[in-house]
Amino acid sequence: MSVGKKYIGEIGLIITALIWGSGFVGSAMALEHYTPYQILTGRFLIGLILLSVVFHKKLKLMKKSIVVKGVILGAILYIAFILQTVGLQFTTPSKNAFLTAVNVVIVPFISFVIYKRKLDVFELTGAIFAIIGIALLSLQLSGGINIGDMLTLLCAFAFAFHIFYTARFVKNEDAILLTLMQMGTTSILGLIFMIGKGETSFSLELSALTPLIYLGVFSTTIAYVLQTVAQKYVTETKAAIILSTEALWGTLFSVIILSELLTFRMAMGAILILVAILIAETKPKIRSLERRLES
């Protein structure tokens, strides 16, 4: 793989994390008008419609393997969001955000257990630095472990598997069609859950639709297309580390837009997340230097 493609992949994931970070503000605004299940259904439906319209000519290239892999990714993604949403009802937002981010440490162990891929010291160290940084950035300890914490931890496993299998599936499939199938699956599951809960009353006011449209266009459509395409060129563990900067961007947007107070502890957390990326990024340079010294 060329160096150029590697950096394109990394830049794509950074932009994805930045968009997701801004999505925290969008979600907070959307929750003033819609239930969590309505937001999930709405954002994925917008994603499905946009991708179908923009890339309708690609639909003729759809094949069985893409459908199967897209359905798997979409199901895992929706399960992750449901576990996160339900978990948030029983735990604090800070613990929910932190435990979700634990996926950054889980990803390398999935590779090790399922595919016997050797644990990379640099990537594993970077993942640990990232999770410590996220803890400092967002975690406010309160009470013991409850059902919400356990559900959120399961959500972290689901997100980790989503990152892992996205990296595996996109190697041999069209990234756009794979994302489109994901959106289709999550939309169908979203409608089933939303109708099942009787949450069919939907506000069409501009103040309500604006944040939902933002989540659908940017946090869902653009972000997941970027993630899927980018993971063609980046290892799953490095992808998880870069995507963990979502917590950093979320904090920055909250400080800028919602006027939240930036504390010293939060600043230290942000620095550790950046250090995590530098550690993962340093690995190829050190390996290259070692090969030169050996030759």
Per-residue CA distances from 279 to 11, 79, 99, 111, 290 (Å):
16, 31, 22, 19, 16
Write the single-letter amino acid at 122.
F
CA dihedral 96, 38, 208, 138 (to 10 degrees): 10
Query: First CA to last CA across the chain, in angstroms?
Result: 22
d(CA 248, CA 178): 28
Tell me what pLDDT residue 292 has: 53
Q: What is the DSSP letter of 270?
A: H
Q: CB neighbours (10 Å) of residue 72?
A: 17
Tell me the C-alpha distance between 236 and 161, whole Å. Answer: 10
Q: What is the pLDDT along the chain (295 residues), one digit of tens a residue?
A: 555 677 888 899 999 998 988 887 788 788 889 988 999 999 999 999 999 999 999 999 999 999 999 999 999 999 998 888 888 778 766 677 777 888 888 888 888 888 777 777 887 888 888 888 888 877 666 556 678 888 888 999 999 999 999 999 999 999 999 999 999 999 999 999 999 999 999 888 998 999 999 999 999 999 999 999 999 888 888 888 888 888 788 777 777 776 777 788 878 888 888 888 777 766 655 555 455 545 5
* Per-residue confidence (pLDDT) for residue 237, from 0 to 100: 84
pLDDT of residue 105: 85
Answer for the pair 162, 76: CB distance below 8 angstroms, yes or no.
yes
Residue 289: what pLDDT?
47
Q: Which residues contact 107 (CB under 8 A, 6 or more apart)?
A: 127, 160, 163, 164, 236, 237, 239, 240
Distance CA 75, CA 71 (A): 6
Residue 118 DSSP one-character state: P
CA 116 to chain centroid:
24
- Residues 193, 38, 55, 237, CA torsion sign: negative
pLDDT at 147: 85
What's at 271, amino acid-wise? Answer: I
